[in-house]
């Protein structure tokens, strides 16, 4: 019989909301396949990571750049061995002191009580723009992008 991953997924997101990285990491498999979709050349915590140590380094990179002040799991779906979470983050950008908010979704797969696969989508334009602290410049080179 398949394991019921709902309590495990809930515990993982509770740990994440509590910013209890140690507890969150205890629910991540040593050989996890982790992908946060986004521009890896802008934020090094984007991109593909293999293994728990690499994921921990990603968490540390986020912590160096952002002080997360609120982590709200707006939705959490469980289906078989997979979970999908819609998350809203509020953070202070350490470089500028500004408050930012961003939404992200995380699709995870569990095996024997641990996350073995993670696929995340982040609203990265908002993230980058808010981290930079000004609108990104598009209008001059790409006027067709600005639509009424």
Q: Cα–Cα distance between 59 and 79 in angstroms, integer?
A: 26
From 1, 22, 30, 41, residue interacting with a copy of itself (rule: CB under 8 A): 41
**CB within 8 Å of 15: residues ≥ 6 apart:** 21, 23, 24, 27
Which stretches of the chain are assigned E, i.e. beta strand?
28-37, 47-50, 66-79, 82-93, 99-111, 114-122
Of 19, 23, 56, 61, which lies in the binding site for a copy of itself, with binding defined by CB under 8 A? 61
Q: Backbone phi, then psi, for 83, in 5-degree steps?
A: -130, 155
Is 121 a binding residue for a copy of itself by CB under 8 A? The answer is yes
Site membership for a copy of itself, residue 2 (CB under 8 A): no
Instruction: Tell me which of 17, 73, 116, 132 binds a copy of itself, using CB under 8 A.
Output: 132
Instruction: Decide: is 104 part of the binding site for a copy of itself (CB under 8 A).
Output: yes
Could you give the C-alpha distances from 110 to 13, 14, 23, 100, in angstroms and in order?
Answer: 13, 16, 16, 31
Q: How far is the CB of 3 from a copy of itself (least distance, A)?
A: 16
User: Which of 17, 121 has the CB closer to a copy of itself?
Assistant: 121
d(CA 37, CA 103): 13
Return the number of the residue (23 or 81) whose C-beta is nearest a copy of itself: 81
The residues that touch a copy of itself, with contacts defined as CB under 8 A, are 37-39, 41-44, 61, 65, 74-75, 77-79, 82-84, 86, 95, 103-105, 107, 119, 121-129, 131-138, 141-142, 144-148
């Amino acid at each position: 019989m398949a394991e019921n991953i709902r309590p495990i997924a809930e515990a993982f997101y509770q740990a994440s909301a509590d910013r209890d990285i140690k507890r969150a990491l205890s629910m991540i498999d040593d050989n996890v396949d982790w992908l946060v979709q986004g521009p890896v050349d802008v934020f090094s915590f984007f991109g593909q990571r293999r293994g728990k140590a690499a994921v921990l380094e990603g968490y540390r990179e986020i912590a160096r750049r952002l002080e997360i002040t609120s982590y709200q799991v707006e939705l959490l779906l469980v289906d078989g061995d997979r979970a999908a979470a819609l998350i809203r983050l509020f953070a202070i950008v350490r470089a500028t002191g500004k408050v930012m908010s961003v939404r992200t979704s995380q699709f995870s797969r569990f095996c024997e009580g641990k996350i073995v696969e993670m696929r995340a989508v982040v609203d990265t334009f908002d993230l980058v723009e808010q981290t930079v602290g000004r609108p990104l410049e598009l209008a001059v080179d790409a006027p067709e992008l600005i639509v009424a």
